[in-house]
Structure 1
Amino acid sequence: MSFQIPRGTQDILPGEVEKWQYIENTARDLCSRYQYKEIRTPIFEHTELFSRGVGESTDIVQKEMYTFQDRKGRSITLRPEGTASTVRSFVEKKLYANPSQPTKLYYIGPMFRYERPQTGRFRQFVQFGIEALGSNDPAIDAEVISLAMNLYGTLGLKSLKLVINSLGDTASRTAHREALIAHFEPRINEFCSDCQNRLQQNPLRILDCKIDRDHELMSSAPSILEFLNEESKTYFEKVQQYLTANGISFEVDQNLVRGLDYYNHTAFEIMSDAKGFGAITTLCGGGRYNGLSQEIGGPETPGIGFALSIERLLSALEAEGVELPISSAIDCYIVTMGDQAKDRAVSLLYDMRNAGFKAEKDYEDKKMKAQFKAADRHNAKFVAVLGDDELEKNVIAVKNMDTGEQEEIGIDRLISYLKQNSK
């Protein structure tokens, strides 16, 4: 019997996985500079966490979750996103009691959604996301957006568009909700069944519908910006002020929504304008959620965050032709001739690795010429040639593969030689 990988998943093999490692290390380094600390949560949680934390009216909860019953009949779900789990841990572990606030967290890990697989979109995918919990300062909104833009810029992406909007505070959203219901209700039967269900549940989600996006009522729908009270307007203006001060360009899009009931104030998306990237251009989405902690049993806590897919980031890099600075070169390859030399190479290799060098040797009894070819495939900076004759004299021949220069040194000097000449 032969087995194939499940649809919507992928094997990330050597040669490709190094790109993932580079991106993840870049993200971790950036988070360290912004003072975000890593959090690791379970891959599965109780289903109710996502029902409440993501929202009953969302496509994620209604159509895309991998949900099953464990052996005791409890409903368990593979996490479809990272925010709900992060906030659950924040509440359960009482991180809100720490004297230093806001609590700034980031995560990198696999998520699971039963979606139609397509370029850059998988059923198991890896998200990088951050959450800042405990501050109502619009400066933290600008910081979160700036971190996302900084990551893309650091990795070399240039064809980016940042789109922002305000969803206002609770009072503003309530007024907007009533206006949306009045706008769509007379002709709601012309919309898809999802939109009909959302009319009373969460009419803001209608504006995010992919099926009815060209319906004439979409373009004439009342804008949330028309319903912002003075407090919400001032908040949104401050976010824009801070982004401008950071030199970050953006567009205000009144149709950009984050459809969950507890989202408010800032919402944003980062898109790729690169040619050939595909029809779905969104790279990253985020926003402020000031009611999520209470929704899952915690204290009133403001929060803001974003999440991005590593797969889509890689697709954007490919579309722009960006080559990540990844080197597979090793420091030294040992070429051996003779049984005693092969034996000595084992401990020599061990010593080099312990000294911090990337080193390798032949394990297939190849001829000398084939061993040199193997050294080339490893992009070895140096090749150390050891035969039984050299071993008798306690010397080893070292060749610099860049310059072609070769010299004979004492075996016990090999590590110090590499340290001196690898700079």
Structure 2
Amino acid sequence: MGTFQIEGGHKLKGEITPQGAKNEALQILCAVLLTSEKVIIENIPDILDVNKLINILENLGVKIQKLGKGKYAFIADDINLGYLESELFKQEGSSLRGSIMIVGPLLARFGKGYIPRPGGDKIGRRRLDTHFEGFIKLGAKFRYNKEERFYGVEAPKGLKGTYMLLDQASVTGTANIVMAAVLAKGKTTIYNAACEPYIQQLCKMLNSMGANITGVGSNLLVIEGVEKLGGCNHRVLPDMIEIGSWIGLAAMTHSEITIKNVSWENLGLIPETFRKLGIKLNKKGDDIHIPSQKEYEIQGYIDGSILTVADAPWPGFTPDLLSIVLVVCTQAKGSVLIHQKMFESRLFFVDKLIDMGAKIILCDPHRATVIGHNFQSNLKATTMVSPDIRAGISLLIAALSAEGTSTIHNIEQIDRGYENIDERLRAIGAKITRTEP
């Protein structure tokens, strides 16, 4: 496992540009399987999870050419479906949860798709029923090899459009079903669809390839199937989770930071949620400027009750930033209730913050009350292990604000979602050293 050594207590200053959105990139990359023509994608983040998926596509037979930093060309004109049943794919696919999204495009174009039970963050149950129920409604046959933990769907006669009401507004489930439906015969209506900017971007890309998707940006998508799709050029949005991470970092370290080119119109409630924590942030063109603050005070509700920050499907607050909000609140003035509705294990990293001196009461697997220090007492350096991507970045932010030198092990979890994070943070003044295993 790799390790970060972090010397905390230093103010940071400067500009930082967010990487391309991880969650969008994983969807967009899978969509290249829907056509035999060239697809060019820009602003792909250089992170472990994305690079794993690119490697899977290459092993499937996709011709890949790197055109520049974050810019690739993909041609999926000679796909090797035999790879899907190989031991190599079982190993590679099971290590990346995002690999589930190759199933929809493969099913649509080739009539079959397989996937080993995917891995990813250990943050609680992340069931795949929504994906496969959608495929079944489109006419696919489902099979599951219990011994090998291997899923498969087959539709040798093709898919047929239908109406479906999703049991949950799953982002990856919606993406997978949409990619399957664009080549199905007839009309598919998806109600309770996820409508995150990632999904909107995917739909816009597919439409530019010749798909016919309406209702983009809403939870009711209507897809008229087409016979085939062509190539396109697409640019991935800046990563809203990384943007939220840098806002939290600036507040915790009393730093003045400008986050460049954030695509304000796609940030939803993120800026306002941080403002409710007392963090000042200003819109300057398409940038976010966070001034240095000695303190920040959490707003209560009108009736005086404690503020609750909870996750919800878009346009609600994204669950991927709740870990960041939680750590930021440890040094706020006031108290807050964090309610993580989606994943029952995501808050379990708070014991590491408590070891650093944070005042946190873990009420149950989904809720934590944070009593802020208001910087009257600083967090103390400690040794930690990163359990998942978002907890990992939260612990890194805590370490950068703490007194002394902290150690974070298993930083591969952070590298899964954040590109060259140590180099980029050192460029604005962070004291952070990487040690490889």
Q: Same fold (TM over 0.5)?
A: no
Instruction: Name the larger-Rg structure.
Output: 1
Higher helix share: 1
Select the structure with the greater relative contact order (CA < 8 A; seq sep ≥ 6). 2
Normalising by structure 2, report the TM-score. Answer: 0.24
